[in-house]
Amino acid sequence: MTADAQTTRIHSFADDALGEHDAVALAELVRNGERSPRELAAAAADRARAVEELAAVAYESYEQPLLPAEPTGRLYGVPTFVKDNADIVGMPSNHGTQAFQGKPAREHGGYARQFLSAGMTVLGKSTLPEFGFNATTEPPFAPPTRNPWHTGYSVGGSSGGSAALVAAGVVPIAHGNDGGGSIRIPAACAGLVGLKPSRGRHIDSAMARKLPINIVSEGVLTRTVRDTAAYTAAVEEFWRNPALPPIGCVEGPGSKPLRIALLLENVGGPVPTGPVRSAVEKVAATLESHGHRVESVPLPFDAALETAFLHYWGLLATFVASTGKIADRSFDAGRLDDLTLGLRRHFLRSAWRLPLTLYRLRAAAATYERALGPYDAVLLPTLGHETPELGYLSPTVPFDELLDRLRTYVSFTPINNITGTPSITIPAGLSPSGLPIGVQFAGTRGNERTLLELAYLLEAENPFPRLVG
């Protein structure tokens, strides 16, 4: 473990089998016989133990990691963690709650099989806030998951544990899922790459298939664009939706000039002057220097869509609280955290509005297509402001106050969950306090390839900040 007393940064990078390699490089070492999957898994386990202070691991299986059954897959032998809401054989799924105690899964979940097809070794489960509802990973019954860039700050949510483990160097890639920004928010907080794929791009989890509108996408958090691209290609080889254009293996920036929309406002108005706006404007200038045309556009949605999303968010909390007993007899709704219970109350106060909520959410895709479809991509902030300190978004904050804070902070990411369109966040520098800032590229449904090409361009032009080196 390496830490700095002044910045309270913490990481596990070391002169071991993992080194500072990304997943693609480690897979190449395994293919060449220079490293073995067990050797890499052992090094990752040692690193995880060295940074336990981050509180990023929900369940560990270091002594008996889940090794791939066959020596196949683009990322064969690379160690990883799976978020604690996806079923992996022999490991419990506790969904970040104390309302029940999960039992070891008897079989892999649907998406887990696709994830494992890449050939990675699973060392355990990463932490998340209760049922993924919060934008920070701070369970009231356990230590908060800390940001490796500054342990006094949030690492985001809901894929917070995965973000902390990847940023700190424990593993180069880890699983996440995104129902309102849950891959992109922690990626932005931790200086990582996080792609939210198009709706239908992958095999959905059983829970996602039950939703009236499926807003959840599965994916990974990585330190390099090529790792995200390699993973995307790997799982596409396992299963591809014929209704969407193939992505293939994207290996660098595109060559044609693009027309890119610049979105710098949310329902609360323009993004104020400061580090977030400056980061987006710097990226816009970089794009223009490469011949891309960047045009400012107004937000094509009003506050009614935000209200609908909040109502739907409350519906999901109500579903969990009401049906948990069916899934597990030990489920105790009285042990749910205050955010989940508050979201349920928020929904029940106006449950009669659900048909209108669903109508507005479904209509948003057409609005997005009309306003932003003519563009090759959209450039926008990932978050409404800089990463907050631990406690600011804690579920122990009074519900109405917490909801107002979340509405300001998570003001951009839900758009692509609602519309089913892809979005990728990439690091765009550091704030004055030394914390990463992320920006997003979004596109029309099925256009992940263009987003990855743009991410490659920005990575080459403005190398991502790192905790070491």
DSSP 395-452: TTS-HHHHHHHHHHHSSSTHHHHHHT--EEEEEEEE-TTS-EEEEEEE-STT-HHHHH
In the numeric block, the tokens 């922690």 are attached to 186
User: Which residues are tagged catalytic?
Assistant: 83, 158, 182
Q: Let me know: does 260 contact 376? Beta carbons within 8 Å.
A: yes
Q: Which two tokens stand for residue 195?
A: 């792609």
Residue 1 has pLDDT above 90, yes or no: no
Hey, what are 390's tokens? 């631990």
pTM of the model: 0.97
Does the structure show a pLDDT above 50 at 48?
yes
Instruction: Give the strand pairing for 146-147 and 150-154.
Output: antiparallel
Place 327 in a pLDDT band, splitting at 50, 70 and 90. confident
pLDDT grade for 326, boundaries at 50, 70 and 90 = confident
Termini Cα distance of the chain: 15
Gap between the Cα atoms of 70 and 68, Å rounded? 5
- The dihedral built from the CA positions of residue 387, 183, 423 and 449, taken in this order, carries a sign that is positive
List pLDDT tens digits, range 312-325. Answer: 999 999 999 998 87
Average pLDDT score over residue span 204-216: 91
Q: What is the pLDDT of residue 469?
A: 66
pLDDT at position 270 over 80: yes
pLDDT of 178 > 50? The answer is yes
Report the alpha-carbon angle 220-226-231, nearest 5.
40
Domain boundaries, the chain: 23-461
Give the residue among 183, 184, 133, 158 at the shortest CA–CA distance from 316.
133
Please tell me whether residue 187 adopts helix, strand or coil conformation: helix
Query: How many CB atoms sit inside 10 A of residue 244's CB?
Result: 18
Residues near 34 by beta carbon (within 8 Å), at least 6 away in sequence: none
From CA 138, how far away is CA 115, in angstroms rounded? 26
Q: Are 424 and 196 in contact (CB under 8 A)?
A: yes
Give the pLDDT confidence score for residue 324 in this predicted structure: 85
E-state strands within 56-134: 57-60, 79-83, 121-126
Question: Of 118, 106, 104, 325, nearest to 235 (Cα)?
Answer: 118
Q: What is the pLDDT of residue 7?
A: 59
CB-based burial, 306-335: b 16+ in 10 Å, e otherwise: bbbbbbbbbbbbbbbbeebeeeeeebeeee
Alpha helix ranges (H) inside 244-350: 275-289, 303-327, 338-348
Mean pLDDT, rounded, for 252-263:
97
Q: How far is CA 171 from CA 46, 51, 84, 256, 355, in A?
A: 11, 12, 16, 34, 43
Backbone angles phi, psi at 219, to 5 degrees: 180, -150
Instruction: Say how many C-beta atoms besides its own lie within 10 A of residue 132's C-beta.
Output: 25
At 251 the three-state DSSP class reads coil
In CATH, the architecture of 23-461 is Alpha-Beta Complex (3.90)
Q: How confident is the model at residue 194 (pLDDT cuts 50, 70, 90)?
A: very high
Q: Is 67 exposed, middle or buried (0-12, 13-18, 19+ CB in 10 A)?
A: middle
Residue 6 has pLDDT above 60, yes or no: no
Largest CA distance in the chain: 62
Better-scored residue on pLDDT, 110 or 420: 420
User: For 300-309, how does the pLDDT look when each residue is reduced to its tens digit (9 = 90+)?
Assistant: 999 999 999 9
Give me the phi and psi of 150, to 5 degrees please.
Answer: -165, 110
Q: Is the pLDDT of residue 5 over 50?
A: no
- 7-33 pLDDT, tens digit per residue, is 599 999 999 999 999 999 999 999 999
369 pLDDT higher than 90: yes
Tokens representing 359?
A: 């109508």
- Tokens for 422? 């892809």
